[in-house]
Chain A
Amino acid sequence: MDRLRIQRIRELAIEKALFLCALASILTTLGIILVLIFESISFFEEVPILEFLTGTTWAPTYRPQHFGVLPLINGTLMIAVGAAIIAIPLGIASAVYLSEYADLKVRQIVKPVLEILAGVPTVVYGYFAISFITPLLREFVPEANIFNAASASIVVGIMILPMVSSLSEDAMRAVPRALREGAYALGATRFEVSTKIVAPAALSGILASFILAISRAVGETMAVTLAAGATPKMTLDFFESIQTMTAFIVQVSMGDTPFGSIEYKTIFAVGMVLFVMTFLMNIVSMWIKEKYREVY
């Protein structure tokens, strides 16, 4: 009888302890969101939200001050789009190769190498961009700025490539072998099996990988801070210096902006925009995953 009771108390204690662990991460997240919201509200008491969201000049740190966040959003989107243009085709091609073409030995070597690529600290990518990609780029486009969006896009593209290829490959390999055999038995070539049977069946996972990767590119900080420059600008020219939301936050957090000042509070408003963007993308990715799931 006693032993049973002790056992029950032990089980209960374990359960509560595990629950507390889970609670800790939820509370932390909630705390971050609350700080973002409160600081943003106090920012918007001084700067009208409409001016913030529609203004095309971002100059919070010198006079006259301007708080139009669009140049930062523009910069962030340029990096995201540029990185996607690089990572999506390469990522999907390597996923098809790894999942459908490569034999076991090749896959056992290539896949871990790709995943190591994902583990390289992003600051390393940053100086890889300035010390290698930018000089190379300037060989071909001499008028390119030392800090430019193209170089940052390329390096962020390389950074998110493993995410696209690895997640897409997982989605493709989850497609049952029986479906492939069914297609081969009808005389389909490997390419037809990959593109007409496997990829459509894995579509939801593949699309979700794109969005997660783009969301990562939007949130990427270190490499773009180093390579893209610190010039918030409404431009579509990839060879100019720009600034992303994340890079701006770094600039203010690192600089000597007085705590509590309006300049300081901008980072919470910008952080809020960033958070909403990546949050929406993650939701879209989950929604796509549900909606386009081909049941096999």
Chain B
Amino acid sequence: MTSAIQTINLSAWYGNKQALTSVSMSLEENKITAIIGPSGCGKSTFIRCLNRMNDLIDGFKTEGEILIYSKDVRYIDPVELRKSVGMVFQKPNPFPKSIYENIAFGPRIHGINSNRLDAIVEESLRKAALWDEVNDRLNDNAMELSGGQQQRLCIARALAVKPKIILFDEPCSALDPLSTSKIEDLMLELKKEYTLVIVTHNMQQAARVSDHTAFFLYGKLIESGETKQIFKKPKEKSTEDYIIGRFG
């Protein structure tokens, strides 16, 4: 098994507040890894380290190593890094532009020739299972789509720059159950081509979609392993308590 992402003793701070403590784990290629844990346990911080999104926050710093396909992210230009590590956010955040322009934005800034854009837009929308719903109104404003459609648009937007890894930061927490199940189906489809990491509050979701699960608590990685094993026979008492809903 190749590991797409590996962290070694990763610690992180917002100012003086430590958010991650010495997290070492590796995430396999073409799998879905779910990161679970109660609010404030560092799971979002963890995935936002992977594409250096937290660099944008004043006073944020890390220690330890993050390797993406064996390359230390500190030595990769963030623009290049984020091209290969895409991200989908908690709340759908389409740009206030047309559906077409939302998808074309990424390829455009990376200098893709504009005569290839039509093909990329179609391909990305198809992969995100949105093409059939929007192909007759690509020039409409993306803000007119429903929440679930907006989130799939954001996935299509991420796909358009051809990443290898896609990070999902609680992608369904603002969506209704039907839209949620569409996104989950989509993730299962996408893992054939991409490595996916999903932060989720929803135990059932983690159990349904992921191959591996990692449980975080107070900024520490408590345990990680095959999803079945974590849910059926967790090694740690706190994992079990969290999964069966004793806290969190």
Contacts and interface: CB of A to CB of B under 8 A. Distances in A.
Contact of A186 (B56, B82, B94): B82
A293 to B, nearest CB: 9
A187 B93 contact: no
A186 B105 contact: yes
A104 B109 contact: no
B53 A186 contact: no
Interface string A231-267: 0000000000000000000000000000000000000
B109 A186 contact: yes
A185 B96 contact: no
A238 to B, nearest CB: 40
A188 B154 CA distance: 15
B60 to A, nearest CB: 12
Contact of A295 (B78, B106, B143): B143
A103 B59 CA distance: 10
A179 B95 contact: yes
What secondary structure prevails in chain A residues at the interface with B? helix
Interface string A262-296: 00000000000000000000000000000000111
Interface in B138-182: 141, 143, 154, 157-158, 161
Given A186-B105, A192-B109, A178 B56 contact: no
Contact of A185 (B53, B58, B97, B143): B53
Contacts of A188: 79, 105-106, 109
B56 A187 contact: no
B61 interface: no
A115 interface: no
A104 B58 CA distance: 8
B96 A201 contact: yes
Interface residues of A, number: 23
Nearest to A180: B56
Given A186-B109, A187-B109, A196-B105, A181 B89 contact: yes
Contact of A183 (B58, B91, B105): B105
A295 B96 contact: yes
A176 interface: yes
Contacts of B96: 179, 200-201, 294-296
A184 B82 contact: yes
A294 B157 CA distance: 19
A29 interface: no
B152 to A, nearest CB: 14
A296 B53 CA distance: 21
B79 A187 contact: yes
A184 B58 contact: no
B117 to A, nearest CB: 14
Interface in B53-91: 53, 56, 58, 78-83, 86-87, 89, 91
B112 to A, nearest CB: 12
A183 B157 CA distance: 10
A182 B154 contact: yes
A18 B83 CA distance: 58
A172 B53 CA distance: 20
Contacts of B87: 181, 185
Interface in A125-181: 176, 178-181
Interface string B101-124: 000011001100000000000000
B51 interface: yes
A199 B82 CA distance: 22
Contacts of B86: 185-186
A47 interface: no
B93 A176 contact: yes
A181 B161 contact: no
B95 A182 contact: yes
Contacts of B83: 186-187
B89 A187 contact: no
A296 B83 CA distance: 24
B158 A185 contact: yes
Given A103-B58, A186-B161, A187-B80, A181 B105 contact: no
Contacts of B106: 186-188
A30 B78 CA distance: 59
- Point out which of A183, A185, A188, A192 has the most chain B C-beta atoms below 10 A from its C-beta: A185
Contacts of B89: 178, 181-182, 185
Interface centre among A183, A189, A295 (most CB of B within 10 A): A183
A296 B93 CA distance: 9
Interface string B5-44: 0000000000000000000000000000000000000000
B109 A181 contact: no
A184 B143 contact: no
5 contacts: A178-B89, A179-B96, A185-B53, A186-B106, A187-B110
Given A201-B96, A296-B96, 6 more contacts: A176-B93, A179-B96, A182-B95, A186-B157, A187-B83, A187-B161
Interface of B: 51, 53, 56, 58, 78-83, 86-87, 89, 91, 93-97, 105-106, 109-110, 141, 143, 154, 157-158, 161
